[in-house]
Structure formats: C-alpha cells, structure tokens
Amino acid sequence: MKRICTVQDLCGVGKSSLGCAMPVLNSFGHEVCSLPTAVFSNHTAFDSVTSVELTTFIKKTVEIWEDQHIFFDCIYTGYIKNQDQLEIIGDFIDRQKKHGAFVVVDPCMADQGKLYSGFADTFPLAMKELCKKANIILPNSTEADLLGNDLENLGPSIIKKGLSPSCDRTGISFFDAETRKTKTYFHKKHGENFFGTGDLFAAYFTGSVMAGNDIWNSACKAAEFVEKCISKTLENPEHRWYGTDFESVL
C-alpha cells in the first residue's frame, strides 16, 4: 500500500477533482490523503457557483504534517486556486521529494484554447515552475501550449491528454524524458463531452503507476478507463452532463 497525497479542489456537486480522485486511487488499494485547495458548491460549468479558497488552510496543514513527520510516497496535484498556493505546494513538494516522493502534476488551468476563469495571465508561468518539480506532467493540449515551446526540456516526462487526430478518435501522447521518444495511443471518441474526465484519467494513471505498473501501460489503461466510463454513462438515457458514472466501472 502506497500513501498518496492528492492536492486539488472539492466540488459539492459534479464528479470531478477530489470527488473522483479519491475513490479511484482507493480502488488500487492505496492510502489516500487529501489537501483541498478550494471548496466549490458545484462544478464551475453550472450557471452559478460559490467557492472558498483554502490558502491559509494549506499553509497550516503542511506545517502540521511536517511537525508530525508525515511523508508520502506520491504527491499528485490537480486544480490549484492561485499563485500563492502554487508557491506553498511547490515548497511542500520539495521537502517531500527529499523523502522519496514521486510527483505527478496535472496542470489544471485551461481548456479549449483559454485559461479557466479567475486565473491571471501570469499563472501559466508560475505553473511551469511547479511542473519542473514533477516526475510526470499531464497537460491537455491547451495547457501544453500555455506551458511553452520548451515543454520537452522542463525535465519531467509528459503525457498529453485529449488529442484528437480526427472527429471520431481521441487519445494521448507520451514523451519519455529519458529516451526522448514519443508514443501515441488513440481510441474511440464519443460525440458527447463530460466534465471530470481529465481528473479521472490523472487519478487512474497515478493509482496504476504507484501500484507498480509501467508508465506507458498505465497511461493507455487510464485512457481506456475513461472511455469505458463515458460508454457506461451514455447507456443511461437520463445521464447527467456534469460527470460520468465511473463508480459502476471501478
């Protein structure tokens, strides 16, 4: 059993972030600890939302953990609310890496060609500094573009999500930082989009890798898992647009 700390937000309604990361990681038999960055009433795709950012809580929590000599086998980050949090979490990662922590960064900040609402134009540059601390980063195409043309020289290996070579295919690419080689994997693309699928991919991938599985195999299995979750959801004519029925696939 590995101890994994996942750092991301929590939505009251909407199957994303901690709401899907924790059960998926648990399904691999890991001990899962959470460090929430913000609490949302519901997913931000709804017409209205209220939220509370937890920067002060994060700072105090990591101090207490370190006083208690709590260390993790893996730090896996998702949505981070602001640049102050990026700095705190970056320092936390540095200290945890001294004790052997494996680091996965999902730079959740943008999609469909633009930054998420509330992020300053300087946020991608700050996120780039966090990515340098990772073993693996998991950007989508928009996030990869925002991180810059020198992405393959940052240090970590890179798995790009949501690549679409055609209208009916989607998939991933894997750049191995050690071999400098790239692989791709594509599968069926469904006509309907669901929120939280990137979070599902990141959680499944991290859970698989920390269970001792190969990085490339874990990435392909994670993509297959997301596709199965979407297929299962579409079987229900009354399915909800704000998340997949991943629970029945686990």
CA angle 202, 227, 157 (to 5 degrees): 35
The per-residue pLDDT for range 29-41, each reduced to its tens digit, is: 999 999 999 999 9
Q: What is the pLDDT of residues 187-223, one digit of tens each?
A: 888 888 888 999 999 999 999 999 999 999 999 999 9
Instruction: Please provide the average confidence, as pLDDT, over all residues in the chain.
Output: 95
Q: Specify the higher pLDDT residue, 167 or 231.
A: 231
Query: pLDDT tens across 100-149, in order?
Result: 999 999 999 999 899 998 899 999 999 999 999 999 999 999 999 999 99
pLDDT value, residue 184: 97
Q: What mean pLDDT is predicted for residues 171-195?
A: 93
Per-residue pLDDT at 241 exceeds 90: no
Q: Residues of 186-223 as b/e, b for ≥16 C-beta within 10 angstroms?
A: beebeeeebbbbbbbbbbbbbbbbbeeeebeebbbbbb
Identify any residues that bridge with 161 across adjacent strands, giving them in sequence order: 140
What is the percentage of the chain residues whose pLDDT exceeds 70? 100
173 within 8 A of 196, measured Cβ to Cβ: no
Contact 9, 38 (CB under 8 A): yes
